[in-house]
Amino acid sequence: MKLDLMKRHLKKDVNSWWIISLVGAVVILLPILFIFLTIFLEPNENWIHIRQYLLKNYVKNTLLLVGLTGLFTAFLGVSLAWLIAAYDFPLRKFFRYGLLLPLSIPTFIAAYTYRTMLGYTGIIQSTLRNQYDYQIDAQILSISGIRGAVFIFTMFLFPYVYMITRSFLENQSTSYIENARLLGQKPFAIFFKIVLPLARPAIVGGTVLVIFEVLGDYGVTSLLGIHTISTAIFQTWFGMYDVNSAMRLAAWLMVIIVGVFFLEKLLRQRRRYHINNKSRPLVPIKLKGIKGFGAFIYCGVVFLISFLIPFIQLIAWAKMTFNKVWESSFNTLIYQTVSLALIATLIILIFSIIVAKVCSSHSSFSFAISKIITSGYSIPGPIIAIGVLAIFISLDQYLAPFYKWMGLGEAPLILSLSLVMLVVGYFIRFMATGFNAIEVGFEKIGTKYTEASRMLGLGVTKTFFKVELPLLKGALFSGFVLTFVEICKELPLALLLRPFNFETLATKTYQYAHDEQIHEASISSLLIIAISILSVVIIQVLGKRVRS
Amino acid sequence: MKFPKLFKPFVASAALAIGLAGCGATNQNSSTEEAASAPPKVENQEVNIYTARHYDADDLVYKKFTEETGIKVNVVKGEAEELIERLKREGESTQADLFITVDGGVLANAKQNDIFQPVTSKMIDENVPENLRDADHNWIGMATRARIIAYSKERVSPEELSTYEDLTNEKWKGRLLVRSSTSLYNQSLLASFIELNGEEQAEQWAQGIVNNFARQPDGGDRDQAKAIAAGTGDIAIMNTYYVGLLANSEDSEEVKVAEKIGVFFPNQETNGTHVNISGIGLTKHSKNKENATKLIEYLTSVEAQEFLSANNFEFPVNPNAKKPELLESWGEFKMQELNFDTLGEHNKKSIEIFNKTGWK
């Protein structure tokens, strides 16, 4: 009886989309499983040492970092999104896009830039010293430790929350907000009674992206000297050469991640706010006098700190080292970075659409798939890398007879020396970025059109291309930009999985920064930023043309 | 450009990879014997390097080598431990011929992991003194840097300095700077004390250093020098190589920092100053052994050594190579005489001691 029911469900659900999703989930699950399997091994003496002296501290730091960053990014992101969506003030149009720019600066680049800038030889202290003969206490300006890390993460990751929330407010909440305004509600009341509850899924979604970014971070925390679970994984793996204990720590990280998931579910719940589908953009109200000026200052200060100041500093350093560092090889670097990111992003987007489509059916299977597909984002890059590497090497061994038959030699490493491996690494790590954007897109569309189309006799695939895809355009654009920029900035996977003679701008930057050649790192940093900005601009321009 | 070629296997096998990844898992432990006894590839004049040294000077030296010999040099850069892990997993199928890294402990660890094979070359033996080579010919030194005590020329006179051990003295309380214990340089330094003075004293030393901290460890070696200049502390444990880089920085503020600090080689009356070594090893399954050996010979030659030292401010391993002026100005010094293998052996213990004593 039960079996029959299951069969019937399967028959209803299974189609080619479903199968492709399953394959994607398997690819992502493999390295994760690989990590989990090592947990069942007997813990060794290193682990006992780690538990005794370090674990409590790691967990405490990680939670503190995640909690504070989450809080501040949510505050900054939502307040800016609300200002820009609902009000008009000087330079609003500029800030609307300008506030996305911090995303183009990888957090580790932001951290080393600020650290050096505020340091003893940095512009502030040296100016005070040389011009005014004043030596400020270096500790006051220091951005080391948790304080500094929260600052960097907040200033350079808040656009995730800002972007998602703003787009939600602009397109989805018009009638609620306008009605509230008509009924005479005060701005603060509208914000707390309407905007916050309404935008909750968007706010939570954006904040969770930020939290995952922080959980998986190695660059900033190691630079600023904070021991988190993620840096401990590196330290255990590389310092103690103990992969198993490192994996065990990764499992602890997973515990936190699962906690975040539950929290997200709790905060987001399955609410549907897309009853009103005639989405008209919200018309901003003009802020006059001091209020308008205040809004301008708020956005301006955030923009200065989170983009303009570090950007100008990097340009100054680039000028200083240009002759020494610049080579024609940078053309190759740009080309390699961009084409790799393009290919990986396209693959991720295609899969995201398929999986999001399958998941819009809200079955327990699709729920599981969506969780698996996005889990890679929360696993630190190096752990994914080792998982992918191990699987590809055994895959190459498995395929050896096939290679031989093709005349490629006895036991060559074909796959694991090609870019395929790196692309798979990106696929695992960044599915969440593409998927979340597109899932929000599907949520926005709702099920009405799809149901109508299906009822009128179109199949799943046809419905998708004729009805859903055109409605998804906006989500696709933002998913593309987010993923593309992420990959251009990505570090640990590229460091570990790239083939011979293949460098990306991020690996080049890291190598300089790691060797404390901060000034030399500026040119490749600027190139990453330029690529990210360009891609945002191109997409925005294209997006406008599509819409009009 | 190399790119289109790199993408070929991608296009050809993307579908295959995704389709078969599922099967790959069940085959996780498929025996490596299958892959065994691969015949050497047809000799194309190239040599492949996995390196943890990311210096532009290194790339320039490889370029010179290619110009002189016509042998192409391919490089993968990464962190030493990641590359060792990769070499281990790639096993017989690896394309890497040489593994290059900084730090004697890591070299010893690579040796323990059995990723090297011995290299024998008369020329290498002539280029590099015996104490800077592995006893079993597993790796060869490429450059060294000394872990010295940098001091404020204004507030400290060199007469007050003597040994690493003395840094735990009460008189340095609140005046001592050093980077975090996650740095390999510190791990190897402590490992050397475990070997020379025993575990107990090494732990006491680490505790004494922690007690004398001017601040919690923060930043890299350059930052310690800057903290001396800023007056946060008076003395710092750091590498000579960074002093050289500061003194030759494009940033005039950094040059000023270098002018404010003096270099002191500790333990000259006792067991010598601790030295960190960069080394090259031939991988166990190298397919281009001859070219790889040629490259090691070149890298240790007077010409390459002088170039590296002049650009990177490390000490040359080849005694015939001339040092740049700055390094010359520090004078000769007595080196800690240790078998580098012991650094690797004690690495774990030293990390444990750091954790126990709260050296962040």
The encoded tokens of residue A139 equal: 């500790």
In this prediction, residue A455 carries a pLDDT of: 78
Cβ contacts of B227 on chain A, cutoff 8 Å: 120, 138
**Could you tell me if B207 lies within 8 Å of chain A, comparing CB atoms?**
no
Pick from B74, B142, B72, B77: nearest CA to B107? B142
Closest residue in chain B to residue A24, using alpha carbons only: B18
Name the band, by pLDDT with cuts 50, 70 and 90, for residue B320.
very high
Using the Cβ of B15 and the Cβ atoms of chain A, whether some distance falls under 8 Å is answered with no
Residue B4 contacts A where some CB pair is shorter than 8 Å: no
Yes or no, beta carbons of A515 and B54 under 8 Å apart: yes
Q: Given phi > 0 = left and psi -120 to 50 = alpha, else beta, which region is B144? A: beta
Give the sign of the dihedral formed by CA A348, CA A353, CA A359, CA A365: negative
C-beta of residue A516 within 8 angstroms of C-beta of residue B222: yes
Cβ contacts below 8 Å, chain A against chain B, sum to 221
Cβ within 8 Å, pair B221-A390 = no
Q: Which residue has the tokens 């080393």?
A: A112
- Render B47-110 in DSSP notation, one character per residue: EEEEES---HHHHHHHHHHHHHH--EEEEEE--HHHHHHHHHHHGGG----EEEEE-HHHHHHH
The B residues from 221 to 280 touching A (CB cutoff 8 Å) are 221-223, 226-227, 229-232, 242, 245, 249-251, 253-254, 256-257
- Which residue of B82, B93, B356 is in closest CB contact with A396? B93
pLDDT at A10: 60
Best A45, A395, A512 member to test B by mutation, with max B CBs in 10 Å, is A395
Cβ distance A343 to B89 less than 8 Å, yes or no, reads no
Residue A123 has a pLDDT of 84
Quote the distance between the C-alpha of residue B47 and its chain's center: 21
Q: What is the pLDDT of residue A56?
A: 87
Query: Going along chain B, which residue ranges are E strands?
Result: 46-51, 72-77, 98-102, 116-117, 139-152, 176-177, 235-239, 261-264, 275-283, 315-316
Instruction: Show the tokens assigned to A133.
Output: 């003969």
pLDDT of residue B42: 42
Is the pLDDT at A275 greater than 50? The verdict is: no
**Which residues of chain B have a CB within 8 Å of the CB of A391?**
21, 24-25, 28
Q: Touching check for B46 and chain A: CB below 8 Å? A: no
Higher pLDDT, A59 or A257: A59
- What pLDDT does residue B317 have? 93
Residue B222 has, within 13 A of its CA and on its CB side, a CA count of 25
From B289's Cα to the closest Cα of chain A, the distance in A is: 17
Give the rounded percent of residues in chain B with a pLDDT score beyond 90. Answer: 49
* Mean pLDDT value across residues B161-187: 90
Q: Nearest CB to B38: which of A235, A410, A496?
A: A410
pTM: 0.79
More confident call, B10 vs A514: A514
Q: ipTM of this predicted complex? A: 0.71
Angle between helices B340-357 and B104-112 (to 10 degrees): 110
CA distance B120 to B339: 19
CA-closest candidate to residue A417, choices A440, A439, A396: A396
pLDDT at position A407 is: 66
Instruction: Provide the H-helix boundaries in A228-288.
Output: 229-234, 243-268
Q: Which residue has the tokens 């969770």?
A: A208
Residue B169 has pLDDT above 80, yes or no: yes
Q: Do B93 and A393 touch (CB under 8 A)?
A: yes
Tell me how far apart the alpha carbons of residues B121 and A254 are, in angstroms, rounded to a whole number. Answer: 50
Residues in Cβ contact with B71 at an 8 Å cutoff, skipping those fewer than 6 apart: B45, B46, B47, B65, B291, B294, B295
Contacts of B90 in chain A (CB under 8 A): 393, 413, 416
> Which of the pair, A418 or B294, is modelled with greater confidence?
B294
Picking from B14, B23, B254, the nearest residue to A420 by CB comes out as: B14
Contacts of A147 in chain B (CB under 8 A): none
Q: What confidence score (pLDDT) does residue A471 get?
A: 79
**Cross-chain residue pair A119–B226, CB shorter than 8 Å:** yes
Confidence at residue A500, expressed as pLDDT on a 0 to 100 scale: 67
Q: Would the CB atoms of A125 and B230 count as touching at under 8 Å?
A: yes
A67 vs A75: CA distance, rounded Å: 12
Confirm or reject contact between B122 and chain A (CB < 8 A): no
* Phi-psi map region of B198: left, alpha, beta (phi>0 left; psi -120 to 50 alpha): left
Q: Residue A361's pLDDT is what?
A: 66
| pLDDT of B358 strictly over 70 | yes
Q: What's the pLDDT tens digit per position in A172-230?
A: 777 777 787 878 778 778 888 878 888 888 888 889 889 888 887 878 888 887 888 88
DSSP state, residue A512: H
β-bridge mates for residue B277, sequence order? B144
Say if residues A515 and B244 touch (Cβ distance below 8 Å): no
Q: Is B334 on the interface with A (CB under 8 A)?
A: no
Which chain B residue is nearest to residue A49, measuring alpha carbons?
A: B352
Confidence (pLDDT) at B306: 94
User: Which one of B63, B93, B145 would you mutate to disrupt binding with A, by most A Cβ within 10 Å of its Cβ?
Assistant: B93
Give the lowest-confidence range in A209-223, A306-320, A411-425, A513-527.
A411-425
Tell me the nearest-neighbour CA distance from B15 into chain A, angstroms: 10
Q: Does B337 touch chain A (CB under 8 A)?
A: no
**SS3 (DSSP) at A283:** coil
**Distance, in angstroms, between A433 CA and closest chain B CA?**
20
A333: which 2 tokens? 């670097």
Could you report the per-residue pLDDT of B190-207, keeping only the tens digit for each?
A: 999 999 999 999 999 999
Cα B39 to Cα A234, B43, B167, B287, B326, distances in angstroms: 36, 11, 56, 9, 49
Q: B279: distance to nearest CA of chain A, Å?
A: 17
Q: Give the mean pLDDT of chain A.
A: 81
Query: How, if at all, do strands B46-51 and B235-239 pair?
Result: unpaired
- Structure confidence by residue, pLDDT tens digits, A513-526: 877 788 888 999 99
Residue A338 with chain B: CB contacts under 8 Å: none
Beta-carbon-side half-sphere exposure of residue A119 (alpha carbons within 13 Å): 25
> What is the mean pLDDT of the segment spanning A110-116?
91
CB contact under 8 A, A413 and B94: yes
For B360, the closest of A225, A418, A420 (CB atoms) is A225
Beta bridge mates, B263: B150
pLDDT tens for each residue of B74-106? 988 877 877 887 888 778 878 899 999 998 888
Nearest residue of B to residue A122, measured between CA atoms: B253
Question: Residue A63 has which token pair?
Answer: 């939670």
